[in-house]
Structure 1
Amino acid sequence: MIRRCPQCGTAADDKYGFCYKCGHEFPKIEANPDTCSLCGFHNPPEAEYCVKCGTPLLFKQQFEKTNTSNFGPIVIQKEVVQRPPEQRQNRTSRWLILFGYIFSILGGILGLIIAIYLSTRKDPVARKHGHIQLAIFAFYIALIAIFYLTGNIPPEAIAQYRQMLAGNFTSI
């Protein structure tokens, strides 16, 4: 049974009869479920909490169910929560998200295609990353427009870029 040591305040298991921090000996608890496990006070039968110290009478319901004086240890089971299949991300989505960020940051057309593909998926995680990658492209377009309008990118550079895209590499 887990009890709080009255000497040092540590929550300790009293199956050995002593606190593991300070060595305080726990008083023996009688088999009555109305007796408080912390202070040993005998409570009225209708009490859910100790009337002296306020500690919950945890073993009262267990005693009424089993009607024995031999209480086992408290076992707290951790519940493992798994995502539903529609919320789980598959390996393909992870790789596409990774490559989407790489190509989005590098500014390639492949990154734009991956970003559009991801933003149209049913998976909310993939859709979110697709929207972020599209925002990166929007930022790059806004940055290029600001540089062009302020004169930091000359109009000749845009003309050379258009020629390069058209396949005419003679005047680079």
Structure 2
Amino acid sequence: MVFRRCPQCGSTSDDAYGFCIKCGHEFPEIPKTEGTCPLCGFQNPEEADFCVKCGTPLIFKNQLENNSIINPVVITKTVPKAQEAPKRTTFQTIMVIFGYLFSILGGLLGLIIAIYLVTRKNPSLKKHGYIQLAIFIFYIALIIILYATGNIPGDIIAQYRQILSGNITSLRL
């Protein structure tokens, strides 16, 4: 199998078909001389092991005695692997657990931990931080809806403010 570049459309096609598979251009017969490039057909000097025009290995070189054609080596570019996410430390694992706990309980500490997790480079930690933020936002929206519909009386919120300021130690129902 020899790959050739079509002079009409520029795509690479297998020479076994005798024509370009993209545009139908018929390939001329490749003269089997030592210096002819199988891809572009350029006549190279005798000492060249690779085509000086396109860099393709000259597969007919030193093969003319036994009239056999070998398959050319397909040269591919190696794509660098994506960088792996940094490993999660024990501290970060504990922060994820406490973040969920405090987000579900509805405390300000849950919001702080969620923001901490969102700012990390590890995509797993970011995901947990966004989930905890969503839980916190859900609870805030639920409290606002319950207060707006009258299911939470205004005096309980006033008592809660007094507890936060340190004036009262418990809620009176």
Task: Tell me the TM-score normalised to structure 1 length.
Answer: 0.47
Task: Tell me the TM-score normalised to structure 2 length.
Answer: 0.47
